[in-house]
Each structure stands twice: as structure tokens, then as C-alpha cells.
Amino acid sequence: MKSFDAIVIGAGQAGPFLAARMVEKGMKVALIERKFLGGTCVNAGCMPTKTLVASARAAHVARNSAVYGVNIGGEIAIDMKVVRARAETVTLNARNGLIGWFAGMDGMTVISGHARFEDPKTVSVNGETLTAPRIFLNVGARPVIPDLPGINDIDYLTSTSIIHLDRLPRHLAVIGGSYIGLEFAQMYRRFGAEVSVIEHGPKLASREDEDISDAIADVLRSEGIDIHTGASDIAFARSRDGITVATDSARIDASHVLIATGRKPNTDDLGLDAAGVITDKHGYITVDDRLATNVDGIWALGDCNGHGAFTHTSYNDFEIAAANLLDGDDRKVSSRILAYALYIDPPLGRVGITEKQARASGRKIMISTRPMSRVGRANERGETKGFMKVIADAETKKILGAAILGIEGDEVIHGIIDAMNAGTTYPALQWSVPIHPTVSELIPTLLGDLKPV
């Protein structure tokens, strides 16, 4: 049996950085990863997909260049082999960077293999047994495949496999109208495929307020994406030319099908029962406000604990654990103000609670909205789709949440994120002097228009 000061299972966006911090403190650490260093973000999520989004945007801009007085002769051609290779290069560079970083650390042992608990302090991997007083789980999540009629009879894609396509689908049917599905839908439409989005619920991006969801749908429809919401009785069958996707109200002749109906944690094959670690009904590991499980000496970080499914929340889990365990601090998950983005174009930047949640809270609230068509920078760039929205507490004058669906919305939202984390009241922000011409310069104006509801 090999002994360590700590064992980290999973090399996503929390575990490796925590392992590195512990090594800096002179600890002996084992980092176990069954597949690739970097987790979903590096290998199948943020980095490759946003690289693909960038290629798709380049195609979109080139296709519409005449609007800007730039004439490109002939049709815009997409070389999917080059597109794929570019995304793979970005992934490999990041992954190899991690490999090189860890190789230079004394005290770090990186093990490639599938770890399983033998008891609360012991795990087995590759026929060896390892023990440590502290074990951290950062095992991530994977796509959910729903039990739909005919699904096992077709060759479907997931968010993991679609990034390896090196040819353009004739017609991509996206099952699921949430964040992952919508990004791929617009991306492949811009590459030149016909695209249909099929969503069981009544609207796209169901987490968002109805006005945001409607605006997202308008953006996608304007680019020729076919959207079917409220779809039931979804079923699949092989056809002569590909795959038939049938619903209660539509029949789609697709060449490829992407299943984007959510994700589930990679916790079902870790031997958690042997350690006594409790999970909820969905498989997420139950943790307290400091990310500790019900078993002393075991923590769960990142997607597998159900407290945020983003790279930045996973990294923040690392920060919380490191601060509490290594720096004598007392940081809590409940102190985190959730923020995220939807990377369609234009992007959606979101922070805090929605208008629906604010109204349901019983607070006295104020709301302000402003269309992107009234933003100078958006007009100058010819990108005026979307709008800004902010919600504030009428009594405390603090911002409760905001949504910016529009050009650079994923960047502009950070001004509000910072203000909310600092506890700044909205009247104080009205006195800032922003740079012109920017999208951010409209934030003081947006706040100045707050009205009670």
C-alpha cells in the first residue's frame, strides 16, 4: 500500500490546482485521472467548443461582409478538417501544458487509471492500493442519454463526440434547447448545415426569464434555425438518407442527431458505498457549505457535487477548499454569487437571480431594460440584437441580478458581477465615468432607468 498526504481523484478544474497548492505546502499528493488531464473544459467543453464557435463566427462575418463594404468573391467554403484540427490543437496545447507543469513538481504523483474506494481512506487503481487521510473527488460529469424510442437504433452524437466531426452534417437535429445544444445549433448553422432544435419544454433556455428565452429564439431563427418547443413523443428511426426524428407535431429528415439533454455526475463507478459517501437521487455527491462530504476526510469539488456546472464554479471550489484547509480561512459555497454565459452570438451574460425569482421572493424590486439597438457600440458594429436587463432591491439599493444578451454581453456583465460581489449599491455605479464608445458605458444609464414594479 502506498501512502500519501492527499489523494485527488479527477483532474478537472479544481483537483489539479488543489493538488499543486498542497505540493507547495510540502505534501505528498497522488492525482488520479482515468482519461485526460484538464477535465471537460480542456478536452470536451469550453476550450474546443469556443474554438469552434470562433471558426463559425469567422464564417458568419465573411458571409455577411458585404454589409460592411467588404466584398468577397464566391461562396464561403468551410474546411471542417481544418476547423476540427484547430480545436484539437487548442486542447492538446492546454493538456500538454498541464502534463509539463505536473512533471516539474516534486511530491506530485500523476496516475492514469480508474480509481475506486476500498474504504474511506483507501482507493485502488491499476491493481495498486493507495491511502491518504484526505481524499478529494473532482470527477466531473458526462452527457445524459434519455430513454427515447429508437435512440439505440441510431448513431447519435453527444457534446463530447461532435467536436471530432471532420465533415459537415447535411441536417443536424439537436435534441435539447438548453445552453450546450444552442451553442452547437448556431455553430453548425453558420458552418452551413441545416439545423433543427427540438425541445420538450415550452421554451428555450428554460432557466432564463421568458423575455430572454424569446430573444434567444429570435436570434437563432433569424439565422435560419428551425425551432420546435413543446415537443413530445420524440422518437428516432433509421432512414435511407440518415435519421428520421419524429415528434407529436413534426417530422425531420436529419443526417446527424446531437443529444444535448443535460449531464450527470461521474459518481456511479467510484465505489462510494465502500466509503460511505452519500449522493442524492441524481448521483450528485452531497456536500456541506465547505464542500465536505458526510464522511470525515473526503471532499467533493466541481460538477460532481451539484453546486454549479461550470469551469469557473469548479475552480472556485478549489479556491474555497484551499483557503479553508491550507490558509486558515472560512470560505463558503453559499457566499458565491452565481454567474455564467451562453455562448451563442451575441452571447448572454448572466449574474444573480432572474426577474421571476426576484418577484417570487416577495422583495420590493426595481427593473430596467434597454435594447441593444440603443447602444452606440452595437450600432457601430452592426450587431444590435438583444437587450440589457437589471433587477435591484428597492430598499437596499443593491443589484439582485442582471442579464445582458448582446454584443460582448459575456464581458460587460463583469462590471455588474464585481459590483454585486463588492456589495456596491446601484446609485454608486451611476456616478462612474465609463469609456466611450463601449457597451459597458450603458450600465450607468441602465441603472438610472430602474423603475419600481
Catalytic residues: 436
Interhelix angle 80-103/15-24, rounded to 10 degrees, is 20
Burial string for 217-248 (b: 16+ CB within 10 Å, else e) reads bebbeeeebbbbbebeebebeeeeebbbbbbe
Q: Which residues contact 450 (CB under 8 A, 6 or more apart)?
A: 366, 367, 368, 390, 392, 426
3-class SS shares of the chain: helix, strand, coil, % to 5: 35, 25, 40
ω into residue 434 within 30 of 0, thus cis?
A: no
Burial string for 254-268 (b: 16+ CB within 10 Å, else e) reads bbbbbbbbbbbbbbe
Measured CA to CA, the distance from residue 83 to residue 139 in angstroms comes to 29
Q: Are 216 and 348 in contact (CB under 8 A)?
A: yes
Q: Say whether 105 sits in a helix, a strand or coil.
A: coil
In terms of DSSP bridges, do strands 399-405 and 451-452 run parallel, antiparallel, or are they unpaired? Answer: unpaired
> What cell does 120 get?
474511506
Q: Which residues contact 74 (CB under 8 A, 6 or more apart)?
A: none
Residue matched to cell numbers 467543453: 45
Q: Are 243 and 255 in contact (CB under 8 A)?
A: yes
Which residues pair with residue 342 across a beta bridge? 348
Q: Are 410 and 341 in contact (CB under 8 A)?
A: yes
Q: Are 359 and 420 in contact (CB under 8 A)?
A: no
Residue matched to cell numbers 495498486: 128
Name the H helices within 234-375: 272-275, 311-326, 355-360
DSSP state of 352: E
Q: Tell which residue, 212, 202, 217, 220, has the closest CA to residue 391.
A: 212
| H-helix or E-strand spanning residue 53 | helix 46-63
Q: Are 443 and 406 in contact (CB under 8 A)?
A: no
